[in-house]
Amino acid sequence: MANPSVEAAPQGAGDANARRDRPPTIRDVAELAGVATSTVSRALSRPERVNPRTRVRIEEAAAELNYIPSSQARGLSSGRTNAVAVLVPDITNPFYFDIIRGTQHQLKAAGVTQLLVDTEESSEMELDALHKMRKSADGFILAASRLTDAQLTEVSQTQPLVTFNRASTSAPTVMIDTPSAIIQALEHLASLGHHKVCYVAGPPTSWSNQMRWKVFEEDATKRGMEVHRIGPYAPKTTSGAAAADAAVRTGATACIVFNDLLAIGMLQRLKARGIRVPADMSIIGSDDIFGADFCNPPLTTISSPIEQAGRVAVSMLLAQLNPLPGSATRKLAVMPTHLTVRESTGPAPA
Amino acid sequence: MANPSVEAAPQGAGDANARRDRPPTIRDVAELAGVATSTVSRALSRPERVNPRTRVRIEEAAAELNYIPSSQARGLSSGRTNAVAVLVPDITNPFYFDIIRGTQHQLKAAGVTQLLVDTEESSEMELDALHKMRKSADGFILAASRLTDAQLTEVSQTQPLVTFNRASTSAPTVMIDTPSAIIQALEHLASLGHHKVCYVAGPPTSWSNQMRWKVFEEDATKRGMEVHRIGPYAPKTTSGAAAADAAVRTGATACIVFNDLLAIGMLQRLKARGIRVPADMSIIGSDDIFGADFCNPPLTTISSPIEQAGRVAVSMLLAQLNPLPGSATRKLAVMPTHLTVRESTGPAPA
DNA sequence: AAGCTTGCGGCAAGCGGTTGCCAAAAGTTG
DNA sequence: CAACTTTTGGCAACCGCTTGCCGCAAGCTT
């Protein structure tokens, strides 16, 4: 631009800004700007540390060369990777997609790379990932962690992390307000005249599963309902058939199901068996995943802003990584829930 | 293990393998094994280059220290990052979930990190990501790339990549056998007695959208059908309402829809308007995403092994990255498709 | 036994940045 | 204008690992 004649002779031997075959390094920029690499480095990462005039020169040089700092090298010397790992138990589960979406969004906004890991519902894989990636990520977001409290505590001492849907005394946490949700759901069922209710349990290692059951039992008992529990089931639609059959045998007229996947599976099975929902049995899912609104019948379910939860988790993690002097880091965020009533719940059969 | 007495005195001051506060480096391993760092490096990455006895010693030392090489450092010096970036136009779309799953799976199996990027349906963001990440990823998988042929060609000269669902002469590609699928779908409709068919178009920048329309028009015309086209629509359920209304106005009795998301949205709208599917109108989607089997009515759709496509894409990319002397790298993989007939298609209204 | 391979391991120079420390330059002050 | 403080920028030592090159020692050949 500034020197078209050079453009015209791109192969000039002594060309100062001759295109190297390799991408430009900080050294190229330094040379072009006539400063030392250290100055370039500072101009780019701590602009206030450098004279505005110099900075502008450097920025121009960088722009001209189309310079992009190597995150590898930066990571090596600074110890920071500018990446965050998000660990989910099952990438297959639409529920986690929402959270992944949230984290992805927020991380991207912060210019941080997301490293996605599927831990396959296994605490070993989770620990393993945590260990293996300790140098390649600045922090971790553990969605529905399968770790024990002790493991969690230990890990959180070494690496910055925030847990999602898994209470922890040691690490910041973002949670779904499950108790409130279950109570809302039971209230809804009670108002429809249901007396026999059944909790359809998910994975035993899931903390939120335990929570849900606990609140369910307490509150349903308090209401004088007959409470049943079946499970555990894998949180997949394919487990729904067995769950539906078992649920029917309990004699309950309404089920609160660990998650929507399972609930949708149950819906399918019930339909196949000719058991009408909600006329014969009401079903309440949890999570309001993609599909809950258009399955048949549309599923009454516990909704919460999962994607936003992902964003919040990222914010909390980033706050932990770059603590602002002023603000204390938040240790807990509870996401509100509400019951989205659709067509899978109705009056108890007479 | 080999020396329990040391175990018993973990705080011994002169302890050779005293726990450093920092994670062990290759130097620590070298020291413990009594060799040079270069030897450790080789023992770990090119085992045949080192004497079996030495190698064992090194491996033991590494295991004892719980050594994990820093991918950063490794990347810096070797130029390889052991990471692959997967670029999808919209992480929100369940279709891409399947492919992400596939790539994630296969990459993990190969010990490669997946870098997930949402390009937001924009070719600029795509180019940008491609550029910014050129040093942080060894290769790229471009799902449904929005780039022009020229851009694609240019990019593929600098970086190893494979495209998915986007033909390219310059880069290896894995494709869905769209023509066959569309023909199957039309055949299905023809056999049900439909004569007026409508293509509901997706994003104009989508190559597969163009392909689908092209084949649709050709084949439907050949069959003497009356062909309509509406759109473009954003490939989301929310666009389904407008699409449904427009489709009805065309007078067509059957629609082939760009993708399931849009199709499901149409289903909802048609139901709301009291237009029965399939009695009044038949709908065929594409992709067989999560939810297509349990929406109402269950969607007849074009299925293909998307997740497997993701795996294949990874294989092709890895083959490109580590070419085996023997085998030539495959330039094209076409994934088979079939029509999954469910309940959204039926005989043409009389 | 002398001369040659061959296998194995070490040396040291990077890879592309960051950063502590220091000196020169610039700005202040009396 | 000298003495002092504050900016500003350069030097150079890493960060942890890879790799080209070299030399030594053991195994072969004739």
Is the pLDDT at A85 greater than 90? The verdict is yes
| Average pLDDT value for residue range A275-290 | 96
User: Do residues B114 and B104 lie in contact, with contact meaning Cβ atoms separated by under 8 Å?
Assistant: yes
- Homologous superfamily of A178-304 in CATH? Response regulator (3.40.50.2300)
User: Does the structure show a pLDDT above 50 at B27?
Assistant: yes
CA dist list (Å): B343 to B74, B267, B297: 54, 11, 6
In B, minimum Cα distance to A267 occurs at B294
pLDDT at A346 (0 to 100):
97
Q: Which residue's CA shows the smallest distance to C1' of C12?
A: B38
**Can you identify the CATH homologous superfamily of domain B82-176+307-335?**
Response regulator (3.40.50.2300)
Interface of B with A (CB under 8 A): 23, 68, 70-73, 75-76, 81, 91-92, 94, 97, 100-101, 104-105, 108, 113-116, 118, 131-132, 134-136, 237, 264, 267-268, 290-291, 294-297
Residues of chain A contacting residue B115, judged by C-beta atoms under 8 Å apart: 113-115
Distance B51 CA to C4 C1' (A): 22
Return the pLDDT at B21: 64
Three-class HEC string of B113-170: EEEEEECCCCHHHHHHHHHHCCCCCCEEEEECCCCCHHHHHHHHHHCCEEEECCCCCC
pLDDT value, residue A188: 97
Size of interface A-B (CB pairs under 8 A): 96
Write down the pLDDT at residue B325. Answer: 64
Interatomic separation, CA of residue B10 and C1' of nucleotide D6, rounded (Å): 50
Which of A66, A101, A237 minimises the CB distance to B92?
Answer: A101
Mean pLDDT of chain A: 89
Q: Do A94 and B92 touch (CB under 8 A)?
A: no
Amino acid at A169: T
Q: What is the DSSP letter of A49?
A: G
Tell me, what amino acid is at B121?
E
User: Which residues, in sequence order, are CB contacts of A324 under 8 Å at separation 6+?
Assistant: none
Residues of A in contact with B237 (CB under 8 A): 294
**A71 CB and strand D closer than 7 A:** no
Residue with tokens 């109705």: A346
- Mark out chain A residues that contact chain B at CB-CB < 8 A: 23, 66, 68, 70-73, 75-76, 81, 91-92, 94, 97, 100-101, 104-105, 108, 113-116, 118, 131-132, 134-136, 237, 264, 267-268, 290-291, 294-297
Residue-averaged pLDDT of chain B: 89
What the block records as the tokens of B207 is 């190559």
Segments making up each domain of chain B, as ranges: 4-69, 82-176+307-335, 178-304
Task: Give the residue from B219, B108, B102, B233 showing the smallest Cα distance to B165.
Answer: B102
Task: Provide, as residue numbers in chain B, all residues whose Cβ is less than 8 Å from the Cβ of A134.
Answer: 23, 68
Residue A299 and residue A342 in contact, taking contact as beta carbons nearer than 8 Å? yes
Contact B294 A237 (CB under 8 A): yes
Q: Helix, strand, coil % (nearest 5) of chain B?
A: 45, 15, 40
Q: Residue B306: its pLDDT value, please?
A: 93
DSSP string, B55-81: HHHHHHHHHHHT----HHHHHHHHS--
Is A4-69's fold the same as A178-304's?
A: no
Residue A283: predicted pLDDT: 98
Banded pLDDT at A223 (limits 50, 70, 90):
very high
Across the interface, whether the CB atoms of B116 and A114 are under 8 A apart is answered yes
Rg of chain B on CA atoms, in Å:
27
Backbone angles phi, psi at B223, to 5 degrees: -80, 0
Query: How far apart, in whole angstroms, are the C-alpha atoms of residue A261 and residue A18?
Result: 58
Taking the C1' atom of C20, which residue's CA lies nearest? A38
Strand C bases, protein C-beta under 7 A:
7-12, 14-20
CATH 3.40.50.2300 is the classification of domain A80-175+307-335: yes
pLDDT mean over B264-281: 97
Sort out which chain B residues have CB atoms less than 8 A from A116's CB and list them.
Answer: 104, 114, 116
- Identify the pLDDT of residue A322: 82
Given a contact cutoff of 8 angstroms between Cβ atoms, the answer to whether B214 and B167 are in contact is no
The confidence score (pLDDT) of residue B286 equals: 95
Asked if A116 and B116 come within 8 Å (Cβ–Cβ), the reply is yes
What residue spans of chain A are helical by DSSP H?
4-8, 26-33, 37-45, 52-65, 71-78, 94-109, 123-132, 149-158, 178-191, 207-222, 240-250, 260-273, 306-321
Least confident of A39-48, A248-257, B244-253: A39-48
Going from the C-alpha of B308 to that of each of A279, B176, B312, B313, the distances in angstroms are: 41, 11, 6, 8
Torsion sign (Cα): A25, B75, A145, B99 = positive
Q: Which of A101, A114, A135 sits opposite B72 (nearest CB)?
A: A135
Predicted pLDDT at A93: 86
* CA–C1' gap, B37 and C10, in angstroms: 9
CA–CA gap between residue A240 and residue A264 (Å, rounded): 7
Which chain A residues touch B94 with a CB distance below 8 Å?
A: 94, 97, 290
Which residues from chain B sit within 8 angstroms of residue A92, using beta carbons?
101
Which nucleotides of strand D lie within 7 A of protein CB?
Answer: 7-12, 14-20
Average pLDDT over residues B285-311: 95
Q: Return d(Cα B293, Cα B267) in angstroms, integer.
A: 13
> Under a CB-based contact definition with an 8 Å cutoff, are residues A215 and A310 in contact?
no
**Of all residues in chain A, what percent carry a pLDDT higher than 70?**
93
Pick the range with the lowest mean pLDDT from A217-221, B111-115, B299-303. Answer: B111-115
CB contact under 8 A, A295 and B296: yes
**Cβ neighbours of residue B60 under 8 Å, at least 6 residues apart?**
B33
| pLDDT at B296 exceeding the cut of 80 | yes
Diameter of chain A by CA atoms?
A: 93
The answer, yes or no, to whether the previous bond of A172 is cis (omega within 30 of 0) is: no
| Minimal Cβ distance to A73: which of B76, B108, B264 | B76
As a whole number of angstroms, the distance between CA A171 and CA A130 comes to 14
pLDDT digits (tens, 9 = 90+) for A94-129: 889 889 989 999 999 998 999 988 898 899 999 989
Q: What is the pLDDT of residue A327?
A: 66
pLDDT tens digits, one per residue of B100-115: 989 999 999 998 999 9
Residue A19 has pLDDT above 80, yes or no: no
Least confident residue range of A57-71, A321-335, B78-92: A321-335
Q: What is the pLDDT of residue A225?
A: 97
Q: Per residue in A199-214, is it b (16+ CB within 10 Å) or e — as a string?
A: bbbbbebbbbbebbbe
DSSP state of B341: -
Contact B136 A72 (CB under 8 A): yes
Compute the 3-state secondary structure of chain A and give helix, strand, coil in percent, each to the nearest 5.
45, 15, 40
Q: Is the pLDDT of residue B73 over 50?
A: yes
What number of CA atoms fall less than 13 Å from residue A47's CA on the CB side? 8
Q: Provide the H-helix boundaries in B159-300.
A: 178-191, 207-222, 240-250, 260-273
Note the pLDDT tens digit of each residue in A261-272: 999 999 999 999
Residue A11: its pLDDT value, please? 36
Question: What is the assigned CATH class of domain B4-69?
Answer: mainly alpha
CB contact under 8 A, B116 and A118: no
> Which residue type sits at A146?
R
pLDDT band at B298; cut points 50, 70, 90: very high
First-residue to last-residue Cα distance in chain B? 82
Q: pLDDT confidence of A15, banded at 50, 70, 90?
A: very low
Rounded to the nearest 10°, the torsion over CA A239, A241, A247, A253 is 120
Tell me the DSSP string of B298-321.
PPEEEE--HHHHHHHHHHHHHHHH
The answer on pLDDT for B8 being more than 80 is no
Q: Which SS3 state, helix, strand or coil, does residue A309 take?
A: helix
User: Max Cα separation, chain B?
Assistant: 93
Q: Please classify residue A11 by burial: count the beta carbons closer than 10 Å to its beta carbon, then call 0-12 exposed, 13-18 middle and 19+ buried.
A: exposed
Reference A194, options A224, A154, A237, A159; nearest CA is: A224
To test the contact with chain A by mutation, choose from B72, B87, B238 the residue with the greatest count of A C-beta atoms within 10 A, namely: B72
- The rounded distance, in Å, linking the Cα atoms of A208 and A167 is 9
A176-180: average pLDDT = 90
Assess whether pLDDT exceeds 60 at residue B17: no
Q: Which residues of A touch B76 (CB under 8 A)?
A: 70, 72-73, 76
C-beta atoms of B68 and A295 within 8 A: no
Which of A211, A86, A104 has the alpha carbon at shortest distance from A142? A86
The H or E element containing residue B28 is: helix B26-33
Paired strand residues for B300: B284
Is residue B5 predicted with pLDDT exceeding 90?
A: no
Candidate from B72, B118, B264 with C-beta closest to A81: B72
